Amino acid sequence: MKLLETVKINQWNLQSRVVMAPMTRSFADQETGIIHPDTVAYYAKRVKHGVGMIITEGIAISPEARGTIGIPGLYMDAQTEAWKEVTEQVHQEGGIIIAQLWHVGRLSHSAITGGIQPVAPSAVQANGLTHRVGLPYEMPKAMTVEDIRKVVQDFTTAAINARLAGFDGVEIHAAHGYLIDQFHFPWVNFRKDEYGRNRYLFLEEILQAVSDSIGSEQVIVRFSEHKDDAPLFFWEKPEEEIKEILEVFRSTGIRIIHPSARSYQKALAKHELTLHALVRKYWDGVVIGVGELTPEIAEESLANGEIQLAAFGRPLLSNVDFVRRIKDKKGIKDYNSKVDLQYLK
């Protein structure tokens, strides 16, 4: 099976094409953002059984970047130091580990951010409640240019800290209606300045700054059509959106991208193709597939070249030995939220 093959992606030698998708697990102390010691075993166990690449849960780039309780950070020395044991253990087991860097923007509350008002491209309040805590989203502050520059620097600092902590690279979370994606979101970005005229400028500046700091070959980008707080949203012109965002990736030297779909096999609302098929039409770099994948769907997509890596979420919560089970042709245990959403598994 191609899914179980070793593969070299950029400078990384992966023991399989299986990726552990990022999943919010709230593994850190709320006050300090320092990870719980058991986080080491959580990631290392999956790699021990053959996962090629781990993408961590979202890691906050600053206190105000957090969207719920228990979010780990990479903005302080103590946080960086705590991650070192995780990366060391993953490497000892033969794996590659990527830090997903995250800022939720308006999808937060001052009770979570340490009293800091959430920010957004424009002062537009989100509908719904914060994850886990269930607080109503607050009215965000419209970002000034100085605020934007600070966030760009925060992403850069977190990326540098990730490398100091031993991570093999970083993933910039530009999906799901979080801060970077809010600039792409016409329901939120009503700016009249250059960040309104060019909705992808903020993303471009972050990618360029991070790439200049740690090297573009160590950077992955996650993006999506769907927004967590706006389930009815869809791109009016999907083909144009894809071409525009892919050009940003090319211009900043990015070669690995992670298009995020709720369902890998479902076509976009206003296009006959799926998200990943449309991306492949215009992109010759590495694509990580994700979206309720099964080993069978992943194998077919790897074989036809639509993706190069396949990311799994819930199956890897339910099956620490997920890759081993595929090799041995054993059944995959179904995801059970009552069991698999425990603090650690």
Residue 253's nearest CA partner among 316, 172, 328 is 172
Indicate yes or no: pTM above 0.95: yes
Beta-carbon contacts of residue 250 (< 8 Å; ≥ 6 apart): none
pLDDT at 271 over 60: yes
For 5-56, the pLDDT digits (tens) are 999 999 999 999 999 999 999 989 999 999 999 999 999 999 999 999 999 9
Please give the mean pLDDT across all residues of the chain. 95
Give CA separation, 60 vs 12, 17, 30, in Å.
Answer: 25, 27, 12
In the residue annotation, 178 being an active-site residue is answered as: yes
Question: What pLDDT is recorded for position 337?
Answer: 63
Query: At residue 306, what are phi and psi to the nearest 5 degrees?
Result: -65, -35
For 274-331, the pLDDT digits (tens) are 999 999 999 999 999 999 999 999 999 999 999 999 999 999 999 999 999 999 999 8
Q: What percent of the chain has pLDDT over 90?
A: 94
Q: Which domains are seen in the chain, by residue range?
A: 2-340 (3.20.20.70)
User: Is residue 142 classed as helix, strand or coil in its secondary structure?
Assistant: strand
Average pLDDT estimate for 96-111: 98
The amino acid at residue 32 is T
Question: What pLDDT is recorded for position 343?
Answer: 40
Question: What pLDDT is recorded for position 335?
Answer: 82
Residue pair 26/35 in contact (Cβ under 8 Å)? The answer is no
Question: What pLDDT is recorded for position 334?
Answer: 87
Give CA separation, 305 vs 9, 197, 241, in Å.
Answer: 14, 35, 22
Predicted confidence band of residue 338 (pLDDT cuts 50, 70, 90): low
Residue pair 32/78 in contact (Cβ under 8 Å)? The answer is yes
CA angle (207, 213, 215) in 5-degree steps? 75
Question: What pLDDT is recorded for position 344?
Answer: 41
65: left (phi over 0), alpha (psi -120 to 50) or beta: alpha
pLDDT at 342 over 50: no
CA distance 86 to 35: 10
Give CA separation, 191 vs 146, 177, 184, 195, in Å.
Answer: 15, 17, 11, 7
Instruction: Kindly state the helix (H) or strand (E) to which residue 322 belongs, with its residue range.
Output: helix 322-327
Residue pair 176/227 in contact (Cβ under 8 Å)? The answer is yes
For 146-157, the pLDDT digits (tens) are 999 999 999 999
Question: What pLDDT is recorded for position 339?
Answer: 54
For 7-18, the pLDDT digits (tens) are 999 999 999 999
Active-site residue (options: 178, 195, 200, 264)? 178
